[in-house]
Homo-oligomer: A and B are copies of this chain.
């Protein structure tokens, strides 16, 4: 009990530090900041990364690409409770959106990858996901003349290794930001863009303490927090969160706070995907994290606000992948 109180205390002090004004605040004082559009500085590398992002030959089966579980048609997620991996294995955790993931303090729910490049190597070699190996992925790409040319153009030599592969993927992922949400327009001064209900939802979102964790440009992604702060979270998902990385018991059930950008598109919610709808997620978060039971209309207001966080989705021209060569290692979907 004392621990819980301490954690609630910690949130309160964060709030004070940030100096939020709880009503009629000027946009500059808001705990959420607009997302800046991405400035493309390495177009050739991003284009190569896009090809790799969509290339299922990075998986053992030749069927699963990065986009399979972080689908850019569906908010950068797969809209499944937990993902489907090689041989239809049931994934252990909900697939987080790739959109705005460059704004996260670390990658994966438990933050075990310090950045996007480190993250990108994980699923390729994870036997439950793409089930390839870094060696095989390199061999596949190295055998394809067009890829060798493209790596040479981007990196100055046609050597392909896992560092270059994941670097290119990460640079592509950095382009996947979603500016110009209606809420961002409001933040920037267009005060008519939100409805009264959406604004009421935002006020409640601030006043109830949601912003303690869901703040900054990504409206989350900036800290690890305990799932089940006030009331323990009940789940049969075995993930223990940050403790798996730090080994510290205090980090049990600490998960990276998910971004709420585009949250309308990234259902179902929580690390176990247990909340099917935004309404359910808001209700559960209120009870478990804040000790609050939102009324039906409060819930609806917050949901209305959350839907204003849907930004411009990245415009993706599907890449045409270079064909395999005669000596390219073939996929093994069934053996």
A317 touches which of B63, B317, B333 (Cβ 8 Å) = B317
| Complex contacts, A71 vs chain B, CB 8 Å | 56
Judge whether A78 is part of the interface by a CB distance below 8 angstroms.
yes
Min CB–CB distance A86 → chain B (angstroms): 8
The secondary structure that dominates the A interface is loop
- Which of A28-36, A102-110, A211-219, A320-328 is near enough to bind chain B? A320-328
Stoichiometry, copies per complex: 2
| Complex contacts, A323 vs chain B, CB 8 Å | 75, 264-265, 267
Name which residue of chain B comes closest to A78, CB basis.
Answer: B63
Min CB–CB distance A222 → chain B (angstroms): 25
CA distance A68 to B78 in the complex (A): 14
Name which residue of chain B comes closest to A54, CB basis.
Answer: B73
Chain A window 292-335, contacts with chain B (Cβ cutoff 8 Å), 1 for yes, 0 for no: 00000000000000000000010111111101101000110110
- Report A17-44 residues with CB < 8 Å from chain B CB: none
Judge whether A240 is part of the interface by a CB distance below 8 angstroms.
no
- Report A48-64 residues with CB < 8 Å from chain B CB: 54-57, 61-63
Give the total of A residues in contact with B, Cβ under 8 Å: 42
Provided the pairs A62-B80, A79-B62 are in contact, do residues A319 and B265 lie with their beta carbons within 8 angstroms?
no
Judge whether A84 is part of the interface by a CB distance below 8 angstroms.
yes
Most chain B CB within a 10 A radius of its CB, from A56, A279, A313: A56
A331 touches which of B80, B315, B320 (Cβ 8 Å) = B80
* A317, B320: Cβ atoms closer than 8 Å: no
Pairs A-B, 3 closest by C-beta atoms: A88-B88, A316-B318, A277-B326
A–B Cβ pairs within 8 angstroms, 10 of them: A57-B79, A62-B80, A63-B84, A72-B318, A79-B324, A80-B331, A88-B88, A276-B326, A315-B317, A317-B318
Q: Which A residues have a C-beta under 8 Å from some C-beta of B?
A: 54-57, 61-63, 68, 71-75, 78-80, 84, 87-88, 90, 264-265, 267-268, 276-277, 279, 313, 315-321, 323-324, 326, 330-331, 333-334
Known: A75-B323, A268-B330, A279-B326. 17 other contacts (CB 8 A): A54-B73, A55-B73, A56-B71, A57-B79, A61-B84, A62-B78, A62-B80, A63-B80, A73-B320, A74-B321, A79-B331, A90-B333, A90-B334, A264-B323, A276-B330, A277-B326, A316-B318
